[in-house]
Amino acid sequence: MKKFFLFIILAGTFLKADVNEIKVGIDEKLGRTLPLQSVLVTENGEYVKLGTILNKPTILLFVYYECPGLCTPLMSEVAAKINELDMIPGKDYQVVSVSIDHEEDYKLAAKKKVNYMNLVKKPMTDSSWYFLTGDSVTVNSLADAAGFKFIKEEDEFIHAGTLIMVSPKGVITRYLLGTSFLPFDVKMGLLEASEGRITPTVAKMLKFCFSYDRESKTYVLNVTRIAGTGIIFLAVVFVIIISVKSKKRKDAIG
C-alpha cells in the first residue's frame, strides 16, 4: 500500500512539473506591472519608454512583422475589431504591437503599420496603434514580464496568439487567447483595463488540458496528461473505498 501511495505522489509531481514547464504559450501574469522603463523604437524611428505611451487602456500583442503564420490573421482581427467596437481608438484605448524579432527595424514596422491601418475604416492617429521594435534584451524582458513564451527555430518564431489587456498604469488585467475574438469580449477587456480590474482567464486550464502544437500553431488537447490525471484520481478514489470497507470490516469483527 505504501508503494502505491508513493506512485501516486510521484505521478502527481510529474504532472505538476509538466504543467509548470512552459516553453511556448502563455504563462499568465495577471496583476503584474510591465517594465515601464523599457525603451522601444516606434515605427517613426523614435525611442520611447513604454511607460510614456501606456497612458490609456491598451491592447498589447506580441508578433513579428515578417511572420508567415498567425501574426497576420491576429493583427487583421485587431483591425476588424477596431472597426466593430463602439469606442474611439486613440482616445478610449490604443493598440501596441511589439515585434519579438530584434532583427526587425522601425522601417519594416512602418510598412506593416500602413498595411493594417488601411484595414481600419475609422479615423486613426499615430498613437492609436503603435508598431514597436527593440533590442533582444528589452523585447525578451518585456515578453517574459507579460508571460509571453516563445522560441526561435531556424528563421521562424514559434509562439501563441493572444491579446493582453493592460491598464493605463501598465498592469496586466486580462488575456484573450487565440486569433479570433468577440467584440463584446474585447470591449469588456478594455473597460476592465480602464478600471484596473483584473479578470482571470482560462489560461491555467488551457495550460493543463492543452499543449501548444508548433506545426499547426494552435493549442491541441493533451489526451495523455488528462488521462494520467484521470487515472490518478480513480486510483485515489479506489484506495479510499478500500480503506473505508476495510475499516468497516474491522469494526464489524471487533
pLDDT at 22: 64
Does residue 139 surpass a pLDDT of 70?
Answer: yes
Which of 21-25, 46-50, 106-110, 228-232 has the least mean pLDDT?
Answer: 228-232
pLDDT at 153: 86
Number of CB atoms found within 10 A of residue 87's CB: 17
**pLDDT more than 70, % of the chain:** 70
Domain shared by 246 and 146, yes or no: no
Domain-ending residue, one of 185, 200, 215: 200
Return the ∠ at Cα 202 (arms to 143 and 161), rounded to 5°. 40
Selected residue with higher pLDDT from 95 and 226: 95
Does residue 211 surpass a pLDDT of 70?
Answer: no
Residue range of the domain that includes 46: 29-200
Place of cell 508571460: 147
Domain shared by 82 and 108, yes or no: yes
Sign of CA dihedral 171, 102, 119, 181: negative
Domain shared by 3 and 79, yes or no: no
pLDDT at 24: 84
Domain shared by 39 and 136, yes or no: yes
Domain-ending residue, one of 200, 225, 244: 200
Domain-ending residue, one of 164, 181, 200: 200
Q: What is the mean pLDDT of residues 6-29?
A: 59
Q: Which stretches of the chain are assigned E, i.e. beta strand?
A: 25-26, 39-41, 47-49, 58-63, 94-99, 129-132, 148-149, 151-153, 156-158, 162-166, 172-177, 210-213, 218-221
pLDDT one-digit tens code per residue, 66-116: 998 889 999 999 999 999 999 999 999 999 999 999 999 999 999 999 999
Domain shared by 86 and 130, yes or no: yes
Number of CB atoms found within 10 A of residue 68's CB: 10
Number of CB atoms found within 10 A of residue 113's CB: 22
Residue 164: pLDDT band by 50, 70, 90 thresholds? very high
Mean pLDDT of the chain: 83
Residue 19: pLDDT band by 50, 70, 90 thresholds? very low
Q: What is the mean pLDDT of residues 188-199?
A: 94
Domain shared by 101 and 189, yes or no: yes
The b/e string for 148-170 (b: 16+ C-beta within 10 A; e otherwise) is bbbeeeeebbbbbbbbbbbbbeb
- Total domains in the chain come to 2
Instruction: Please check whether residue 217 is in contact with residue 70, taking contact to mean a CB–CB distance below 8 angstroms.
Output: yes
